[in-house]
Structure 1
């Protein structure tokens, strides 16, 4: 019979595996993306009447999303996962 502690460990490993499937951006990259996204969005909103301002706001929003979720579709497309790299360092 499996002990409660073994069950908890198994569930923790399953959760970690799921996290690695969903997230592919390491913590340091997430912080940088979030900060850059906020700066770009604020700068873009100050020029919201121009195409440049709208573009800056859009890119800033993408960076904020990347920073908060920890997922980057471009990383997934090229097979890069800095979360795993960061964990191994």
Structure 2
């Protein structure tokens, strides 16, 4: 049983957590995103017939979190950090 769990863990680590040169999400965030996204996605599948509108939101959110975890790239985080790299200081001279 333990060897099966180790092989599953190794497969996930090799396949899902490969290094991405465009990654802006740390390894721990990626693991948490995959776990939380899978939970929300499965919960959305369960709610599909009883609460379809809620289920669509859960499916979208869960899928987005899984995508973020697998790729290691978060477009929201990239957009947030976009303006921080190019801070330009301007000097204003007032002549009276």
Q: What's the TM-score once normalised by structure 2's chain length?
A: 0.60
**In the aligned structure 1, how far is the partner of 2:54 from the partner of 2:32?**
22
Tell which structure's C-alpha radius of gyration is larger: 2
Q: Which residue of 2 aligns with 1:25?
A: 25
Alignment of 1:38-77 (within 5 A): 38-49=38-49, 50-77=52-79
Which aligned runs of 4 or more in structure 1 are off by greater than 4 angstroms? Answer: none
RMSD, aligned α-carbons: 1.8
For these two proteins, the number of residue pairs brought into alignment is: 62
SS in 1 for 2:48: coil
Higher-RCO chain (CA-CA 8 Å, sequence separation at least 6) = 1
Offset at residue 48 of structure 1 (A):
1.2
SS in 1 for 2:63: helix
- Gaps of at least 5 residues in structure 1 are 1-15, 81-89
**In the aligned structure 1, how far is the partner of 2:78 from the partner of 2:43?**
29
SS in 2 for 1:79: helix
SS in 1 for 2:24: coil
Q: What's the TM-score once normalised by structure 1's chain length?
A: 0.65
